[in-house]
Amino acid sequence: MPDTARSADRRPGSSILVTGATGNLGREVVHRLQAHGAHVRSLTRHQPAPRAGVEPVVGDVADPAVVREALVGTDAVFLIWPLLDSSSAHDLVAELNAAAPRVVYLSTTAIDDEAARQSDPIVQVHMDMEALLHGAGLRPVVLRSDTLASNTRGWAPQLRAGDMVSGLDIARTAVVDERDVADAAVAVLLAQHDRLDQGLHLLTGPEVLSRADQVAHLGAALRRPLRFQALPGDLARSRMLADGRPEPLVEALIAASVRRPESNRITDHVEGLTGRPAGTFAKWAVDHAAEFS
């Protein structure tokens, strides 16, 4: 356990708000905060399953009344912005400013700091969110995460039906285990104020992987000869729409697959925050193999 996570410096009775608390990443953050004995408030649109020590607030993160309620008695926020547009975030930022908690924002390593505009619309939203939070004087700790290993859970239905994963191909990235990102987030959320590093943290896994590489690792974990088949954009679009994904999300994913450049960057920032190196996707695949069979 990193020293930062041992030395919590919190107001008695205060809560940590976790947005996206039932998601792949958020639920890992919640588990860890609970294990540290922190009082957690969660914010999601759907009522979560009850958990001891977790107080749910149900509503939209873009609804200022919901955010105001969630922030009462809260002195730190793990913030995700799951929307495809940052225009409704001004209200959120106003509520954060009024409540003045410590803000840990989950962004993306895909941001190109040299570019005024990002070619990928999802990445642009994260860039806008970072600028909004900084511009409001909230002094957020920004955790830019690479592609989460947990995204591959979306392949589970295909892998239960056969040995082929077909989908959009995207540029290779340093896929990171969401448990490492959660450990890093919790280290920052529980850090003593006087030791808090306000800097930017780039959280990557230890190796750069394509989708075919990830499928191969899953195959090794499952002991099955799995293959990845890249689909052309039009076919991927029609399949995602048929699966019920919202059209703006589908278009954003298609744009990301075409425009997001390959990233060969690997950092040691997970280790810097957690005290141990980032785990491999191969290990993630072994640990989660049961979800795919």
Ligand X SMILES: NC(=O)c1ccc[n+]([C@@H]2O[C@H](COP(=O)([O-])OP(=O)(O)OC[C@H]3O[C@@H](n4cnc5c(N)ncnc54)[C@H](OP(=O)(O)O)[C@@H]3O)[C@@H](O)[C@H]2O)c1
- The Cα 171–Cα 217 span in angstroms is 17
Name the β-bridge partners of 284: none
Of 16 and 148, which has the nearer Cβ to ligand X? 148
Residue nearest to ligand X (CB): 23
Of 149 and 226, which has the nearer Cβ to ligand X? 149
Beta-strand ranges (E) seen in 95-195 are: 102-108, 141-145, 164-167
Of 115 and 163, which has the nearer Cβ to ligand X? 115
Q: What are the phi and psi torsion angles at 2 (to 5°)?
A: -65, 150
The least CB distance from residue 19 to ligand X, in Å, is: 6
**Burial of residue 254 (number of CB atoms within 10 Å: 0-12, 13-18, 19+):** middle
Is residue 60 within 8 A of residue 67, CB to CB? The reply is no
What does the binding site for ligand X look like in residue numbers (CB under 6 A)?
A: 20-26, 43-46, 60-62, 80-83, 106, 108, 145, 147-148, 150-151
Of 21 and 285, which has the nearer Cβ to ligand X? 21
The least CB distance from residue 262 to ligand X, in Å, is: 15
Edge-to-edge order in the sheet of strand 74-79: 54-58, 39-44, 15-19, 74-79, 102-108, 141-145, 200-203
Of 199 and 225, which has the nearer Cβ to ligand X? 199
The least CB distance from residue 106 to ligand X, in Å, is: 5
The least CB distance from residue 153 to ligand X, in Å, is: 8
The least CB distance from residue 194 to ligand X, in Å, is: 28
Cα 51–chain centre separation: 21
The least CB distance from residue 18 to ligand X, in Å, is: 9
Of 131 and 195, which has the nearer Cβ to ligand X? 131
Is residue 173 within 8 A of residue 146, CB to CB? The reply is yes
Element holding 16 (H helix, E strand)? strand 15-19
Of 10 and 210, which has the nearer Cβ to ligand X? 210
The least CB distance from residue 117 to ligand X, in Å, is: 19
Distance separating the N- and C-terminal Cα atoms of the chain: 33
Strand 74-79 and strand 15-19: the pairing is parallel
Element holding 41 (H helix, E strand)? strand 39-44
